[in-house]
A = this chain, B = another copy of it.
Amino acid sequence: MPRARPSKPMNMEGMAAKAAEVAGLLGTMASPVRLLILCSLAEGERPVHELVANSGITQGAVSQHLAKMRNLKLVSTRRDGQTIYYSIASKEVQQLLDSLYCIFCKETEKQK
C-alpha cells in the first residue's frame, strides 16, 4: 500500500539542496489566486485583463501576483500592443500543474 518509489532511492543530500528551490516554487503556487491563474495558463496563454476579470480582486493585486510569479520564473510574458499575454514559463511548472490536475481534479475513474 505504500506507493513504491521509482527505482533509485532518494538522494538526501541533493534533496536538501533542491528543497529550498522547490519549496519556493510551491510557495509561489500556494495561493488560490495564483493557482487559479496558473491553471488557466496551463491551457494556454492569457491576457492580463482576462486574468483580472476571473480573479475577484483588483487589477493592482493581480499584477502583484503576476510579478511574483515572473520573478520566480513560473510565467513569462509577451506584449502585443497594449495587451500583455502571460504563459507558463517552464516545462517543470507545466508538468507540476498537469500532475496537480491528475491528482486533484481528474474525476477518479481508475481508483479502487
Known A-B contacts A96-B100, A101-B10; the reply to A30 vs B32 at CB < 8 A is no
Instruction: Check B3 against A94 for contact (C-beta < 8 Å).
Output: yes
Copies of this chain, complex-wide, total 2
**Residues of B close to A5: CB separation below 8 A:** 42-43, 98, 101
- Residues of A in contact (CB 8 Å), total 48
Instruction: Check B101 against A96 for contact (C-beta < 8 Å).
Output: no
- Report the minimum CB–CB distance from A16 to chain B (whole Å): 6
A18 to B39, CA, bound (A): 11
- Report the minimum CB–CB distance from A30 to chain B (whole Å): 4
Whether a CB of chain B sits under 8 angstroms from the CB of A51 is no
Instruction: Check B104 against A22 for contact (C-beta < 8 Å).
Output: yes
